[in-house]
Amino acid sequence: MISEKEKIWKYTLVALIIGLGVLLFIQAKPFINGILGAFALYVLLRKPTFRLCDRIKPKFAVPIVIACVILFILIPLSLFVWFVIHNLQGVNWNPHSIIEPVKNMILAVEAKTGMDILSSSTLSFMASKLSLFGQYVIGGIGDFFVNLFVIVLLLYFLLAGGRDMESYVKSILPFSEHNKKDVMEKVNVMVRSNTIGIPLLAIIQGMIAWIGFMLFDVPNAFLAAFLTGIASVIPVVGTAIVWLPLSVYFVVIGEWVSGICMLAFGAIIISQCDNLIRFILQKKMANTHPLITLFGVIAGLPIFGFMGIIFGPLLVSLFLLFLDMFRNEYLIERNPAPLQDESGSGESAVQERD
């Protein structure tokens, strides 16, 4: 029996752990993308690093892996971000020039239908939000490089003490050995799938869309392609959020050929490539339900920022896994009694077997 004093100490310790954990999370939130990025890379690189550590000394193996990460992942990623920022700087961020195509389409609809779709105050609100979006993208450069430093620093220590860290995490998980294995496998599969699949899908979709938008002379084609890549994260609707309004815009302003071609390109090329790439990635990696990805992204973005695209679906998957574990452990009867009807046939059946 645990004494009252021991219970008080136990609950006090749990409260301290939770309180300090929340405080540390709040303080680390500016670097959350770097922390989660390091964790994602650790999941991807843990097995190759462990194999290399078995062949040579860890003090040599880990720096080699870190050097490869910098050379083949972080530097290309930095160059890609620089390319995106450079092109976004070339976009005319004058709100009036960006809103003008939308305004022309709305005016054309109002002229044909007589409906007042959007007021001038709504258009002004949209313009202000577009300006803030441009400033947010450009202003995130400094945070990006700070988080790159956090990734390199944290990844080194994760890889150096990876096996000990995993053993410690397993020891504090309040599950059976079978459930511990399920949790670790779920984390590993989901992180690997989302870390590789989601950015790859967004980049491919954005590049395909950019080619089409340039061919059809879409206003601010690079910005539209950038938004298409981001929209590819959203299941079911996906890239249609971008190319469908563009098709309607061309039709409304009287450019029927461009509108029909844009609609055909979006429906046949962009969307079908999206479905094909998702099908291939699901066969190679985790076969995640679209709703898990959708609700995961919605829940993850406010918590983790950009990395919520990767770790939001992981949270939803773990929630469902824990729910299933609770159901199997506590809600399903381990040895259900034999079914009996009103005549007591279950009991007689037992007697017949005896």
| 212-266: pLDDT as tens digits | 999 888 888 888 888 898 888 776 677 888 898 888 888 877 788 888 999 999 9
pLDDT beyond 60 at 189: yes
Reported confidence tier of residue 1, pLDDT bands at 50, 70, 90: low
Residues 81-85 have a mean pLDDT of: 77
pLDDT beyond 70 at 46: yes
Tokens matching residue 342: 């009103």
Reported confidence tier of residue 354, pLDDT bands at 50, 70, 90: very low
Q: What is the mean pLDDT of the chain?
A: 78
User: Would you give the DSSP letter of residue 161?
Assistant: T
pLDDT beyond 60 at 128: no
How far, in Å, CA of 38 to CA of 75, rounded? 15
Reported confidence tier of residue 39, pLDDT bands at 50, 70, 90: very high
Residues 340-349 have a mean pLDDT of: 47
Reported confidence tier of residue 349, pLDDT bands at 50, 70, 90: very low
pLDDT score, position 132: 57
Estimate the share of the chain in helix, then strand, then coil, as percent rounded to the nearest 5: 85, 0, 15
Reported confidence tier of residue 66, pLDDT bands at 50, 70, 90: very high
- Interval 111-126: pLDDT, tens: 666 555 555 555 555 5
Residues 281-300 have a mean pLDDT of: 74
pLDDT score, position 159: 93
pLDDT score, position 350: 43
Reported confidence tier of residue 289, pLDDT bands at 50, 70, 90: confident
Pick from 146-155, 182-191, 303-312: least confident:
303-312
pLDDT beyond 70 at 351: no
Yes or no: say if 43 and 155 are a contact pair by the CB < 8 Å rule: no
Location of structure tokens 């079908």: 272
Q: How far is CA 280 from the centre of its chain?
A: 18
Yes or no: say if 239 and 209 are a contact pair by the CB < 8 Å rule: yes
Give the DSSP H or E segment for 33. helix 32-55
Location of structure tokens 């005896």: 354
Q: How far is CA 57 from the centre of its chain?
A: 35
| Residue among 96, 172, 166, 173 at smallest CA distance from 127 | 96
Q: How far is CA 92 from the centre of its chain?
A: 29
pLDDT score, position 231: 85
Residues 333-345 have a mean pLDDT of: 50
In the chain, % of residues over pLDDT 90? 19
Yes or no: say if 273 and 205 are a contact pair by the CB < 8 Å rule: yes
